[in-house]
Structure 1
Amino acid sequence: MLEQWDLQILLVPGILLVLLFSYVPMYGVIMGFQNFKLGDFPGFSEWAGFKHFQTMFADKYFGLAMRNTLVISALKMFIGFPIPILFAVMLNEMRIQPIKKSVQTISYLPHFISWVVTATLMFDLLSTDGGAVNEFLMWIGIIKQPIGFFSDGKYFWGLTLLTDIWKELGWNAIIFVAAITSISQDMYEAADIDGATRVQKMWHITIKSIKPTIILMFIFQVGGILNANFDQIMMLTKQMSNAMLKEYADVIDTFIYRLGVSQGRFSFAAAAGLFKSVINFALLLSANWIAGKFGESQLF
């Protein structure tokens, strides 16, 4: 370290940022065990013990929020997670480079569109009054009357999944595309000599070679299972003002926002946030441990 002091100095800004934005805020966790009020110095408020946790578990909307969070996260994990992997593999199989690069560029552009704009597009496309999707479905004879996608909660989980896939497909595939490019071409040439078909090469070489990357990304996905994308849900429900969607759209993050932040109950919000973080951390450790038990890649 002394010999490379000039290079070590380059680490200082990164270390300071992590300390400032990741470790210092941990002190605020103590608010979840106190009756914090605006104006109080953090850590010096009246102690409340586990009062706010008990209040959260007893709330009639907590169970509903947990159900919606787990269902939406499960859909994104078991349906939304594999799709970028398949997309990356398909991109790798394309031989016409200009088309390949164009498809990849177009696929990750939606990532840079805000959820405000994305939600507005969805409202227009799925509108019952001249929306392109309803008009097309009626034109081909699948439906006779427009479907109220945003007036019936049973469609919301599917809309959440589809909009998330459309917006993040290309962006999430980037890391898998990068992993595929590191695969030695000698393996494909050897497979050609052995008479392997294209599908066999995709399965036995491409997917098997990026398996460690897939497992690591899946562990991260499991560790964020209680994160159901607050921005997406708030925009698709018009900041939770659409009462017809509340039964299917209210998740842990919106639950914390409604009952904690919006009402100035900061201690309640801190307690709920701590609960969510502890569960996510436990799931992350469990997924990492299971991966190690099966001899696969681990985070640590």
Structure 2
Amino acid sequence: MQATANSYVEKKKGILYFLKRDWMLYLIISIPIIHTFIFKYCPMGGIVIAFKQFNPMVGIFKSDWVGVKYFKQFLSDSTFWNVFKNTILLSIYNLLWSTPMPIFFALMLNEVRSTRFKKTIQTISYLPYFVSTVVMVGIIFQILSPTTGIVNHILSLFHIPPIMFMGESKWFRTIYIASGIWQGTGYSAIMYFAALTNIDQELYEAANIDGAGRWGRMIHITLPGIMPIIAVMFLLNIGNVLQVSFEKVILMQKPITIDVAEVINSYVYKRGLVGMDYSYGTAVGLFQSIISFVLLIFANKISKKLSETSLW
């Protein structure tokens, strides 16, 4: 009865009471909400440019309506399909390597018994994430330089001639993925470290009594314990599968590697902004967003059926 009475009183107080009582919490949460609304939702009104012959002199709404002209144009463009293929390949390789590496790193570090060593490694692994893309690409060029790079210096010790890593198309994807793993593994593992702390320690004690070794505990307790967060992170990565890092690709591109280095984001930038073909660039960007959205819904449904874990 007391609980029911309290619930009734809480409802009668109304929203103003809770706003006054928890104003600090509402203020904190309002900042990301306002940011998301202004920078994510408000610009969506510009999508209409994809269906118009946009003229900056007359504005969006006074520009001539052309329907799906630009969608037909890029879908029939052989250059676009090469760009789309490059984006898909980079995204798949990145998904296959960048998704399991943080999990493996978190599992291995979780088995370390020295707290000081574990914290030191964690801190060191986070640092590359905070290195700017420009600096990171500069480091890559220095390390892989055919004249002064340490990699080619090591190869020369084995009488292997210098390799133009940044000047050969076959190395572009490997370098892109490897540098992404180096930069993002530590930071991406934070979610898995947090999930590992929530696993009931009594399960490990029971496994020890039953004679389970480290690998046995990892396979039968640790992995199932973090499986929900693995599923959620995988779904979020699926949603960004076509969002290849624009800055990194642009900085790593060279005319000689453009056949494998041109992706949708860089293509939209060059065609839409540099080439001032705004409607075409918007149409390609909208197509990219629709594909990503469809993939996210599809992956979410599969995850919900197989593991009962989903985003909604």
Instruction: Give the Å deviation of 1:58.
Output: 2.0
**Contact 1:215/1:296 (CA < 8 Å) preserved in 2?**
no
Instruction: Give the Å deviation of 1:296.
Output: 2.6
What is the aligned residue count? 294
**Contact 1:149/1:156 (CA < 8 Å) preserved in 2?**
yes
Amino acid at match of 1:3: Y
Q: Which runs of 5+ in 2 are unaligned?
A: 1-14
**Contact 1:73/1:228 (CA < 8 Å) preserved in 2?**
yes
Alignment TM-score, normalising by the size of structure 1: 0.94
Q: Do structure 1's residue 262 and structure 2's residue 274 form an aligned pair?
A: yes
Question: 1:14 & 1:159 partners in 2: Cα distance?
Answer: 34
Q: Which residue of 1 aligns with 2:232?
A: 216
Match of 1:231 among 219, 234, 247: 247
Q: Which residue of 1 aligns with 2:202?
A: 186
Which structure has the greater CA radius of gyration?
2
Q: Do structure 1's residue 102 and structure 2's residue 124 form an aligned pair?
A: no
Q: Which runs of 5+ in 1 are unaligned?
A: none
**Contact 2:97/2:181 (CA < 8 Å) preserved in 1?**
no
Q: Which residue of 2 aligns with 1:299?
A: 311
Alignment TM-score, normalising by the size of structure 2: 0.91
Amino acid at match of 2:290: V
Q: Which residue of 2 aligns with 1:4?
A: 18
**Contact 2:103/2:189 (CA < 8 Å) preserved in 1?**
yes
Question: 2:81 & 2:242 partners in 1: Cα distance?
Answer: 13
Question: 2:102 & 2:86 partners in 1: Cα distance?
Answer: 24
Q: Which residue of 1 aligns with 2:186?
A: 170
Instruction: Give the Å deviation of 1:243.
Output: 1.0
Question: What are the Cα deviations for residues 272-293 of structure 1, in whole angstroms up to 9, with x where unaligned?
Answer: 1110000000000000011111
Question: 2:96 & 2:83 partners in 1: Cα distance?
Answer: 20
Matches within 5 A, 1:34-45: 34-45=52-63
**Contact 1:126/1:132 (CA < 8 Å) preserved in 2?**
yes
Instruction: Give the Å deviation of 1:12.
Output: 3.9
Match of 1:33 among 36, 39, 51: 51
Question: 1:35 & 1:195 partners in 2: Cα distance?
Answer: 71
Structure 1 runs of 4+ with >4 Å offset:
none
What is the percent sequence identity of the aligned residues?
A: 36
Q: Do structure 1's residue 205 and structure 2's residue 221 form an aligned pair?
A: yes
Q: Which residue of 2 aligns with 1:88?
A: 106
Q: Do structure 1's residue 271 and structure 2's residue 255 form an aligned pair?
A: no
Bigger share in helix: 2
Between 34-43 and 87-96, the greater mean CA deviation after superposition: 34-43
Residues 12 and 272 from structure 1, CA distance in 2 versus in 1: closer, same or farther, beyond 3 angstroms?
A: same
Secondary structure of the structure 2 residue equivalent to 1:267: helix
